[in-house]
Each structure stands twice: as C-alpha cells, then as structure tokens.
Structure 1
Amino acid sequence: MDLNITLKPDDPAHLYEQIYKNIRDRIIRGELKGGEKLPSTRSLSSFLHVSRSTVTLAYEQLSLEGYIAMKKNSGAYVCRTIPTNIDIDRKDFIEENTTPRKAAETEEKYIDNDRIDFSPRKIDMTAFPYATWRKILRELLVTQKADIFYRGDPQGDLSLRETIARYLRLSRGLSCAPEQVVIGAGNDYLLMLLKYILGDNRRVGMENPTYLRAYDIFKALEYEVEPVSMDEAGMQPDDLTAASCDTAYVMPAHQYPTGILMPYPRRLELLQWANEAPGRYLIEDDYDSEFKYLGKPVPALQSLDRSGKVIYIGSFSKSIAPAIRISFLILPPDLLSVYRENCSFLSGTCSRLDQSILREFIDGGYFERHLLRMRKGYRAKHDLCLSLIAQKLPDFTVHGDGAGLHVVISKDPEGRDPGQMEREMTKLALRAGVVVYPLRGQAMKEHPLSSSVPPTFLIGFAALSEEEIGRGIGILAGVWEKG
C-alpha cells in the first residue's frame, strides 16, 4: 500500500513532521483503520522521494504517541485503540529554539529494528514455556475430544474458577468461593461488564496519573470520573468523600504509573470510606502483584474486606503472556446475585480450550515454576536498572522500585518549566533511538499534572535484555547531559 502524501518544501515544518501529521490525522479521521499495515519505511521513502531516515522519524513519533505499533520483522500497523491523551506537543514536534537540521543528517544512526523501548507494559516473552504449553494442548486434544469445543458457562468453566479461587487464596490471601469468580476475555471486557452490575450514573474516583485504559473505559460507560490526589501512601480517602464518589478504582499492589505500594493503614482507611455509605465499592486492580522483590508481600485489599465492598480484578497477561486473554473478577456476594440477574443472557468470551490449558498449567505446578523463573529474571533486570541509574544518571531520583516491571525516575527542573523539559527530554531520547514514557502522558486529559511535578519518566525493563538496558541508559545519560 502506498500513501499519497503531498509534501511542501516551502512549509516551515520539516518533511518528517509533515509525514507524521498526515498519517496521524488520517488515523484520527478513520481513513486508516486499526490493524491496517502501513508501507515500510523503505517503500514509503522511495514513493515520496525522501530519505528513509525521514520516514523513520515520522514512524518513531507515531509509535511513541500510540498511533502505530512497530512489529519486529513485520512492519508498522495502525493501533486498534488510538490515544486520547498525548504528552508530546503536536504543534512543536521539532524542538523550538534550536538550529533545524535535516532528517538525513540527524537520523543516519537510526536502524528500524534497533530501537530500545523502555516500555512499562511489555514483558519478556523469550521465557514463555512454549514446550509446556504445547504439551498441555496436545494432551487436552487427545483426552477431551469434542467436549472442549462446546459452549461453556458464561461465567467461565467451573474447574478453572475453582483453580483461580484456590490460587488467589494461597497467593494473595483472598477470601472467595468459585461461585464469586467471573471469567472474561481481558480486563477491558470485565470493566465494561461492571456497568450491568453496578448500574448507571456512578462517580468513579481514580488516581491521577492513572491507567488510562481503565479511565477511557469508564468515560465510554458515561461514568463521571474524578481525579483523586495521591500522597506517598497512594489514594487519599478524604478526596473521595470531597468529590462525592461512590466508587474508587485503585491499584494498591503497585500503582500504575507511579509505582506506589499502598501500605496497610491506607488500605484500611479506604475500606472505612467504603463502609461509611451504602452503595460504595472499591475496584481493586491487583496490578503487578506477582512481582515484588523487596520485603514481605502485602495482602490484597480484598483479603481485608469483611463487608463485601471490594471488587477484585486480575489477569494473566503480565504473569504469562498478553495473548492469554483470560481475566477474572471476584464479586462480593451481593453483586454476584446482580450479575446473575442482569448478565445471564451473555455468552462466555473465553475459549474453553484456552481455559482448560490455563487450568492445567496452574494445577500442574507449571505456573508456580514459571513465576519463580520470571521473578528471578525480572529482579536481576530491576537491580541492574537501579545500579545503572545511580551510576549514569546521578541527578535523578528513583521512585516505585522494589516491585513491578518498571521504575520511575525524576529530575529537579532547576527553575525550568517541568512540562516543557519533560517533552524535550523525551524527544532527545527518541532521536537517539531510545523510547521513554513521560509521566504527564499518563495523566487524565482534562486534568494535566501541575508544574509542581518534576520531569518524570517510566523506565520499563521487562522486555529488554540486560545488554539493551545498559546500552539504553547509557544513551539517555549521554543525550540528557548534552541537552
């Protein structure tokens, strides 16, 4: 596929900015559909009669902003969900107050598949137990035969719900029965399902910055979403009351994106808030709970709940693989009856074959061994990140360490505008072939972070090798020191 883009040499915008804006606007207008493949950088540069590095720069920016995804050895594809909040100033794609340089001069170092992406959302798929997964699949196809291809319980197969309930009791201290487990294809589906359970006209309190996917879903459900401030312990219950919220979405195990681990007393304060009025609920997203490297595990919020106020949501996307589209809700007893009354007409969204493989993977002890391997590998990368940041980025402060698959670093702006400084540092890194994730890009669109928040970045390490982590942090030290 060729893209007919009219480039204007007399336009003050550089050629790669023109390409970037043209493709971005086509995606926003729906002319380029989600999942559609874009021409390769080589093909498009030849078609437009520009250097390949010019197209590469445009693609890099589109990828950074979440409009396209770059797949190794496959190409660039339009994302199926485009961003609603962009941290990069679209009008100022090129840094202001610098001498413009031609893309060919600045981008000779770019190699399409050599970008170091410090994504906080990716995991290490090189450690996936392919042989074990294939073995379980073969055995199921031999022993289960046609039964496994029939439609199952909309709530999820009972055998998997029993396995999940048992696993959560042992690993997270949850108090739940298999009847309380609802299985669905991903957290997005389950969050949307909550509208049938909680009803309309909810006012949801969310930490800001936050997990924007959940924020977008709540907005799509026409829920009112209120930003709730955080301190070093996480979400502040008094702000929930002040905002007249009846629902709170929290990530106490490792808040995304700040990495805050909510301490025990604050969890009790949130439960007290939920118990102060009828109809209040806490949605606990147990994000990154499997990956804690320092100290003893903190019990899940749901394990402390004695009044049926916590809706627990979890998945296997981070602990096994993103393609394992099996997530689960643990509903309080009173909401379980509402679910059965309002959602019994819905069909199950998870393949029974996939459910059976996951059940065998957990019951056979494979999942536990896999987690042990992943924790060991991720802890090594986590510790390497901290060591390299201390050595090469001594002016940065580290936050959110000790758990999860990313750390957060911030720098004193020393009187400069922190938002502008954050954008400039992001661009400098990108042009050097390194992708970092600014904290301001995770804030609610209607509620940008204040100027009191210093330039802050998410540094994900899970999907990178130790060599890539070292090289990436070294590049950041070089370009940020010069910038």
Structure 2
Amino acid sequence: MLTIPLNVKSKHPLYEQIYLHIKKEIQSGALPVQTKLPSTRGLANHLQVSRNTIEQAYAQLISEGYIESKQKSGYYICQINGLAEYHQTKLTAKQLKAEKRKVYSYDFSPFSVDLTHFPYHTWRQLSKNCLTQDENLFLLGHNQGDDRLRHAISDYLHQSRGVRCTEEQLIIGAGVDYLLQLISILIPRNQLIAMENPSYMRAYRIFKGLGYQTAAIDLDNMGISMEKLYQSNASIAYVTPSHQYPIGIVMPIKRRMELLQWACEEENRYIIEDDHDSEFRYTGKPIPSLQGIAPQDKVIYIGTFSRAIAPAIRVGYMVLPTPLLAQYQSEYSYYSCTVSRIDQAIITNFIQEGYFERHLNRMRKLYKTKHDTLMQALGIFKDNMEICGENAGLYVVVKFKTNVTEDLIIEEAKKNGIRLYGLLEHYIQKPTDNTPTFLIGFANLSEFELQKGIHELYELFKQKNWFHL
C-alpha cells in the first residue's frame, strides 16, 4: 500500500498532493512499469480521505498518460519512452555568489543610459490610456507597423535628421538586430558586405551568421576609406556616418558624397546607414543623415529608440529605398510586425503629444553636463592620453600613452572596482597599432562617480607606473 504524506494545511488540495507524489514516484522509477496501484477505495481507506479525492488524483494521472485503467483489473503504471525528469537542485552559497553579476564601483559602460530621469509617470499614464481607450490594440495590425507610429516616426526623422521618406517606406521591428535580418531577405547571399573596421560587432556577427561574406574596411580621418572600399569589390556598405561606432568620427560632407557616388555607380550597390545615437550631439548643429542628401534611392536607413528612450524599448525602424520596398511588399508582405501594438501605441502617443521631444531635450542637457564633467576629470592624465570622438554620443574614446597592454589595464582595473571597455574587441581585423584604447561611457554614472572613478583610475596608473616615460 502506498504511504503518502499529506498536509491538510497546505495550499495544495489533497488530490493534488496525492497526484504529485505518485507522479514523482513514477518519474524516479520507484514505481516500475505495469506496477498495479491500490484501488481507489483501498487507498482512500489507507490515507483516511474520501474516495472522490483518490479518483481525482488518478484521473489526472490518466489524462497525463502516467497510468492506465484496465477494465475489471485496476490501475497500472504506463510505459513512458524518453521521459524527461526535472531535478531542482539547490545552489550552494558559493555557486549563488558566482551566479551573481559582478558589481563594480565605477562601470564606464558605453552601452548604458541614465534611467533615473526616465519619465516613468508619463509612461505609466500613456500605458493606462492605451489599454483603456482602444480595444482594437489586441487585434493584429499592419505588417509593417501601425500607420500612426510610422507617420509619427517619418515626421520626427524628417524634422530631426533630414530623412526623406513616406510612412509607407518605414518598417517597424523589434530592434536593429531583427531589421538587419529582414534586410537579408532582400540582399542576395552572394553580395559582399563592407564594414567599417573597427565596427559594430553585433551587426558583423549577424551578417556572418546569415551567411554573408564581409570585408573589413579600415578608417581614415574622414571615416570609411574609399580607396579600400573600391578595392574590396563590395556591393553593400554598412556605415555609421553621424557618429562612427566605436571611434566616434563624424563623416564630413566630402566623404558622404564620395560614398553616395560609389553607391550610384552600380545598380545593385546600397548603403546601410545605422544612425545609432544621432540624438546626442554636444557642439554645433545636428549632422543630417546620409539618406537625406542621397541623390538616388541608395540608402537603407535604420535607427532605434534604445538610446533615446530606454534599452528595453525594443523598437527599431527602417526606411527602405523604393526598389527594395517594392520587392519587400511583393514577395515578403507575409512577415508580421514583431512589436506589440500596445507598445507601438504608447510610443506613438509619447512622440505625438510632445513627451519625446521634452525627454530628449532634458537628456541632452543632462548628458552634456556629464560629458563635460568626464572631460574635465580626464584632464588629470595631461599628456599621457589622447581623446577622440568627444562631441557626440554617450562615451568618449581615450588612448593612453603607455607600454602596457589593453587587457592588462582592464584586468587590473577590475581588481580595483573599475570596469573598462577596450577598443580591440570591436575590430574585425586586429590593428597594428596596439596603443591601449578605451570607450569611456558616462551615461549611467553621476557627476561625482565620474570624477571619483577617473581619479581612482589615475591612481592605479600611478601606482603601477604605467605612464609612458
């Protein structure tokens, strides 16, 4: 007879406790195949519960295929092939500690944003309004994204970035990664993709993972080298002209026109313009997009709200040139939009009701203050470092004049609670110049933390005698 421990005070009903116990015995092999279970009456008497309780437990086991009922014979354990058992094991204190992400006193991440000034109240209110005012948001929408959002984005891009497009040319997707995969259905796999070196490595890995051949094109002081681009025989160029990632070069108009000329020379050539953090510029006027000055339909423009609003807002947008748009709508219109209509509605209202513009203006002022604080703090290194890409984005690029390696500085800094991000990991082909270079982010640190963190880094250099003699 089965002995099953029952707890009448448990939140689980008695039949469920009996069902779970027998199920576990079967999974562990304690009850072998074709073992006969006690009758419902016999087990009920043994456990001092109602017969109905046992019948409910057996019925659940029968429905899941663990036991079977044979007429005039009783209940038997079934043969279950490939039964997978889930073992829940408790982690030791040491394992739990290892599982936790290491927290640094000063994390100079170039990927982070300042979420302490995110308009949570506004976002909650817009979310509430969307859920209570439009039940149609729970229905499927347009495959390229809702009309209202695409209209709002096209207006925003025209006013802020000089992008020339209709809402019909826009495709909304769950982040740039997804949009790059969409591009792959329009560009044959035999086309060579030229990428800046150093580059946005996630885009590089996506293209490689999709089966494309790539060519790493070195940069000069104006951006991607045109001489090496021509030599590569590539037909697609992936570039970040407004703020080259990760070096920070702003591509001047001369190089932009040269790049557009290259694209216009052959029918199958296109430029993918990733406008990743164009919203944040601290000196001069905003740099217009490459797409906005293109004499022909040769630029695929992509962007995202991850930096401007928050990383978890997985909403990206892509402007397709007319020929590629016609191909997409003709052959691939069955692709559904990967962004929830509720999220689309929230962002639409966030833009159209003026909250987005106010948020951007507030964040520009905040980031400029942090940027200036970081620049001032870095002054302690004097002639022992060189800064570039300092007038835009959420990080600056710092080259340290020292004979030690980038990896050594990163490891020693970690031991002192400082997280640094090296430039080498962004290279497709490693450079001959091994000067240790870092992307020093400032968005997620306070002004005090920026000053203190840079001072701690300086003290580490001094202590280790890393300054170039």
The aligned counterpart of 1:68 is: none
The within-5 A match list for 1:315-334 is 315-334=304-323
Q: Is residue 2:374 matched to residue 1:374?
A: no
2:93 is aligned with what amino acid? S
TM superposition shift of 1:391: 2.3
Rg comparison, structure with higher value = 2
Contact 1:148–1:353 (Cα < 8 Å) also in 2: yes
**Structure 1 segment 214-363 matched on structure 2, within 5 A:** 214-363=203-352
Partners of 2:104 and 2:418 within 8 A in 1: no
The residue correspondences of 1:100-111 to structure 2 (distance < 5 A) are none
| Alignment correspondent of 1:44 | 94
1:122 and 2:106 are equivalent in the alignment: no
Contact 1:123 1:463 in 2 (8 A): yes
SS at match of 1:126: coil
Distance 2:393 2:373 in 1: 14
Residue deviations 1:219-238 (CA, integer Å, cap 9, x gap): 01111110001011110122
The structural deviation recorded for 1:39 is 9.1
Give 2:423's aligned residue.
Answer: 439
Corresponding residue SS for 1:229 = strand
SS at match of 1:197: coil
Q: Could you say what secondary structure the match of 1:154 adopts?
A: coil
Aligned position for 2:412:
428
- Offset from partner CA, 1:371-396 (integer Å, 9 cap, x none): 00100000001011111101245411
| Normalised TM-score (structure 1) | 0.75
CA contact (8 A) 1:392 1:473 kept: no
Task: In structure 2, list runs of 5 or more residues that go unmatched.
Answer: 1-88, 465-469
SS in 1 for 2:163: coil
Q: C-alpha displacement at 1:140, in angstroms?
A: 1.5
Contact 1:252 1:286 in 2 (8 A): yes
Aligned to 1:469: 450
Give yes or no for contact 2:405–2:434 (8 Å, CA) kept in 1: no
1:411-446 CA deviation, whole Å, 9 max, x = no partner? 234xx4xxx6111111111111101111101112xx
Q: Structure 1 segments of 4 or more deviating over 6 A?
A: none
**Aligned residue identity for 1:215:** Y
2:123 counterpart of 1:133: yes
2:462 maps to 481
Partner of 1:459: 440
1:236-262 per-residue CA deviation (whole Å, 9 max, x = no partner) reads 122111011000000011111111111
Residues 161 and 178, structure 1, Cα contact 8 Å, conserved in 2: yes
**Is the 1:362–1:368 contact (alpha carbons within 8 Å) kept by the matching residues of 2?**
yes
Distance in 2 between residues matched to 1:151 and 1:477, nearest whole Å:
55
Rounded Cα–Cα distance in structure 2 between residues aligned with 1:232 and 1:430? 32
Instruction: Report Cα offsets for 1:92-113 as digits up to 9, x if no partner.
Output: xxxxxxxxxxxxxxxxxxxx54
Amino acid at match of 1:421: T
CA distance in 2, matches of 1:394, 1:367: 41
- Deviating more after overlay: 370-379 vs 387-396: 387-396
Q: Is the 8 A contact 1:197 1:338 kept in 2?
A: yes
TM-score (norm 2): 0.78
User: Displacement of 1:114 after TM fit?
Assistant: 4.5
Q: Is the 8 A contact 1:119 1:460 kept in 2?
A: yes
1:143 matched residue in structure 2 = 133
Instruction: Show the counterpart of 1:449.
Output: 431
Indicate the SS of the match to 1:398.
Answer: strand
1:187-206 CA-partner distances (Å, limit 9, x unpaired): 00000011111222121111
Q: Does 1:176 align with 2:158?
A: no
- What's the RMSD between the two structures over aligned residues? 1.7
1:167 aligns with 2:156: yes
Counterparts of 1:307 and 1:316, CA distance in 2? 27
Q: Tell me how far apart the structure 2 counterparts of residues 114 and 252 of structure 1 sit (CA, whole Å).
A: 33
Q: Distance in 2 between matches of 1:379 and 1:327?
A: 25
Q: Given that residues 161 and 183 in structure 1 are in contact (C-alpha distance below 8 angstroms), is that contact kept between their aligned partners in structure 2?
A: yes
Cα pair 2:115 2:310 within 8 Å, conserved: yes
Residue of structure 1 in register with 2:31 after alignment: none
Matched, 1:195 2:177: no
In 2, the alpha carbon distance for the partners of 1:466 and 1:393 equals 20
Check whether the contact 1:152–1:352 (CA below 8 A) recurs between aligned residues.
Answer: yes
Give CA-to-partner distance per residue, 1:123-150, whole Å, 9 cap, x none. Answer: 0011110000111111122211x20110
Check if 1:205 corresponds to 2:186.
Answer: no
Q: Secondary structure at the match of 1:347?
A: coil
2 CA distance for matches of 1:314 and 1:39? Answer: 43
TM superposition shift of 1:154:
1.1
Secondary structure of 1:307's counterpart equals coil
Cα displacement string for residues 43-92 of structure 1 (whole angstroms, at most 9, x for unaligned residues): 116x9xxxx7xx5xxx7xxxxxxxxxxxxxxx33xxxxxxxxxxxxxxxx
